[in-house]
Chains A and B, each alone.
Chain A
Amino acid sequence: MNDRTQHEGMDLVAKAIAGWLKGFILLFGVYLVLHSHETPGGGFAGGIIIACAFILFTLAEGQHAGMKLLSKHAAAKLASVGALIFLGAAIASACRKGALGADHAGILLFLEKNAMSLYDLALALVVSMLIYVVFSVTSAVHVTVKDGQRKMFRQRRT
């Protein structure tokens, strides 16, 4: 196991630079998400960049380290949470806008005032996690050349 993890991923230079970069990329993604109500398509772009940070880490350090950081199932669950927040915010603001008649205060008012940021936050969560899940599902395949023939293998779970 130890042996394998050491040989996984790219070489030392790539690992070191990816280690440096991933924090900055993540920070930039979070910045974009937080300012998403001012820029067109902010939540989406921010989400993609956050996903890129995770993907860079996984590419450099190998599948196992990446999965240890954030597993496929955890990412899928986080994406579901994001989608639920999205739906909840929509329903809450619909209720707030009078579908239920009464004038609500408190949490619903907060939600309405911050609806756009909340949408973007949820969107970023969904997008980043889904892109990461897609990456990890489709990249769990090895292509090796054997006897002049290309063969594709699914990586075994450890």
Chain B
Amino acid sequence: MDFTTREENGVTIMNLEGRLDLASGSALKEHVKKLFEEEKTSIHLNLENVEFINSSGLGALVSTMKEARIRKGRLTLSNLANYVQEIFEITQLSHIFEIYPTEKEAVNSYSQAAVAK
């Protein structure tokens, strides 16, 4: 799996590409851990190019989300392919993740949340 990372309006956006499984899930957790250590706690993951996800990949996302909560940050997801969305629904993880149809909507939600505060 490949990660590309960029900043937009204070949100760190990661584009994930490839399979999200045991090995790449561990790599993702390490990558996000470094972002947290750099005080970057508003993180968005664009999953548009994730071609495959299994329970190990889901576990990595859950771990990342829990770490974000501990650090009073946020983790959002967007652009889930149909089969990825299906796995989120059957595992009920769609209830605990903030999932947006598009990256733009997800990133906008951070500024809207800041205004609301």
A and B from one assembly?
A: no
> Measuring CB to CB, which residues of chain B are less than 8 angstroms from any residue of chain A?
none
